[in-house]
Amino acid sequence: MIDFLLGFRDYVLVFLAMITVVVFVHEMGHYLVARANGVRVETFSIGFGPELFGRTAKSGTRWKICLLPLGGYVRMFGDADAPGISAADRLARLTPDERRLAFLGKRLDQRAAVVVAGPLANFVFGILVLAVMFSLYGEPRTQAVIGEVQPDSAAAAAGLLAGDRIVEANGDTVASFQDLQRIVRLTVGDPVTLVVERAGQRLSILTRPRMSEVKDALGNTYRAPVLGVIAPADATTIVRHDPAGAVWAAVRNTGEMVSATLTAVGQMIAGERDTNELRGPLRIAKGAGAAARLGFATVVYYAALISINLGLVNLFPVPLLDGGHLLFYGIEALRGRPLGPRAQEYGFRFGLILVFALMLLATRNDLADLKVWDIIKSIVS
């Protein structure tokens, strides 16, 4: 019973707390910029479905918590769904005073600012959290020195030796073992040219990483290209940062994460990378549970990563996401007028189908990773 309660706390409550925080940050970004631009906000909701509890502020905004906690939204005055009716027609139905408070009555740049504020808030939150972590706990960095070459590995076949210091990979500077891992895992098994320092000399060595199953610190297992080298046990140091250095380190880590994610998504679209790496809520919850068991600092770090990823995903140019709205606004800026209601309706239908299909794929991946299908087969058989 105790194990069940601990598991429920780690895998459910911690996960819901993380999601609630990052969703609140996202929606608060929309809310603050909307209010700064004179938009009346009707609803600020954490979760979907029936309202559990809430209150109405003096501004008229209904702040509420709903039954289904996986998400949230901010509903602005004059932005209610009206299929087949153009923004101009919806505005025409409002009085002059109402138009001044309506989201649709604002200039294009104001509307774009409100939309981009949500993802931007997630990025700022993630960077600030990482900066605080790097200030308080330091940033772990592992020297790019080979401590051990695994037998029958790509590294052994290429002639890498223990004691080699890797300084470049495919022309990119390697300052740490983490840099090497990031570069290699984005190659999808393509050859990697390394520049290593050995006995005071620099050598260029061509390696061919091999696809293998790897497990990260949070217990997630996936296939990725690996060289087969291990850093020395004493190669990891904790780099202490002053506040300015911590912010820069957080920005650098965020940039590397965003770049790696965009590269991986592009490889999936091109069919070069397995889509099994797409994670849904079940594996995110699994990661939250693993983070909880590693300690509070790991939970906070994981929440920062989720926030940054949420901000990035919402900027994808898919109708239904914030990036889709920004895409429509970009088209409006080029055309001098918005797309017609039918074009927007078809766009949002396409976005809904695409988002739903990706959710199904990610959930299938989660179930496969958690061996749910194997459990069902064993029960049925």
Contacts of residue 175, defined as CB under 8 A and 6 or more positions apart, other chains included, come to 141, 144
In the residue annotation, 27 being an active-site residue is answered as yes
What is the Cα–Cα distance from 246 to 264, expressed in whole angstroms?
A: 27
Contacts of residue 336, defined as CB under 8 A and 6 or more positions apart, other chains included, come to none
Tokens representing 339? 């797309």
Q: Phi and psi (nearest 5°) for 40?
A: -85, 125
Is residue 260 within 8 A of residue 146, CB to CB? The reply is no
- With left for phi above 0 and alpha for psi between -120 and 50, is residue 189 left, alpha or beta? left
Provide DSSP, 195-233: EEEETTEEEEEEE--EEEEEE-TT--EEEEEE--EE--T
Q: How many other C-beta atoms can be found within 10 angstroms of the C-beta atom of residue 9?
A: 12
Q: Which of 27, 42, 139, 168 is catalytic?
A: 27
From the list 277, 237, 250, 251, the residue with the least C-alpha distance to 368 is 277
Tokens representing 335? 């055309």
Active site residues: 27
